Amino acid sequence: MSTATLEQTINERPLTRHEYHLLSEAGAFEGKRVELIGGVIYEKEVDEKIIEPRAHLLTRREYQLLTQAGAFEGRRVELIEGVIYEKMAAMLSPHASACRKVDRLFQAAFSGQAAIGLQLPIVLNDNSEPEPDLSLARGSDADYDDHNPLASEVLLALEVSDSTLSIDRRTKASAYARAQIVEYWILNIEERQLEIHRGPQQDSAMPLGWGYSTRLIVPESGRAATLWKPNVEFAVADLLPHAPTTPVKPH
């Protein structure tokens, strides 16, 4: 599958005029000169200096205002570094199967020891609130009654990747590393392997200038454990959905 095909399934979502006006009426741009061009909010200098306008990165507050106004109803979206990304509305069966398996195994292993989130928001910074397919955070569910887990509280972020591999390996990996998420897993359905990222560090080759120093590839036949609980191992085969069977051609 080509990168172009991969990236068609998760894209930057342009804002509509209605959403732009909702934010404006809520006071999101108070004291700023902004305009909407091609679905992107551009911010201009207030003192009239002749400077190239820059894209306005949405904050978590602005994102939540739009969510509360029903702007994303029926859509699967997340905020990453000030940009709203829209995922396919329908989750493919292998992806859904892998999410269920990961959730079931992690619940069995870690229930009562950490807060386990299945496609729930985590806070990376004021411009990022992604929803990894699974996350582990310190403490218990009750610790997050009044807030979503902060990056400093996250023990592991995991993405199940079938049609979003390019985004998961680059945009999300860079965002997680920049926020100092200590460990990031990509369950790669297409190549039937687990990709473990550890050691966030600056990396100019990555989109946000951050990446991971270590990338371990664990094949389907292998086993893996988190840094947090190194003695609790998972068989990669148990995390993956069943491999598609190839029909036998008649002679």
SS (H, E, C) the chain: CCHHHHHCCEEECCCCHHHHHHHHHCCCCCCCEEEEECCEEEEECCCCCCCCCEECCCCHHHHHHHHHCCCCCCCEEEEECCEEEEECCCCCHHHHHHHHHHHHHHHHHHECCEEEECCCCCECECCEECCCCEEEEECCHHHHCCCCCEHHHEEEEEEEECCCHHHHHHHHHHHHHHCCCCEEEEEECCCCEEEEEEEEEECCCCCCCEEEEEEEEEECCCEEECCCCCCCEEEHHHHCCCCCCCCCCCC
How confident is the model at residue 4, as a pLDDT? Answer: 32
Find the largest Cα–Cα distance for the chain.
77
> Residue 3: its pLDDT value, please?
29
At 83 the pLDDT is 87
Q: Domains plus CATH for the chain?
A: 3-87 (no CATH), 93-239 (3.90.1570.10)
pLDDT at 48: 52
Show pLDDT as tens, one digit a residue, over the chain (251 residues). 222 333 334 567 778 888 888 888 888 888 788 888 777 788 876 555 545 556 778 899 999 988 888 888 888 889 998 888 887 655 668 999 999 999 999 999 999 999 999 999 999 999 999 999 999 999 999 999 999 999 999 999 999 998 889 999 999 999 999 999 999 999 999 999 999 999 999 999 999 999 999 999 999 999 999 999 999 999 999 999 988 765 555 55
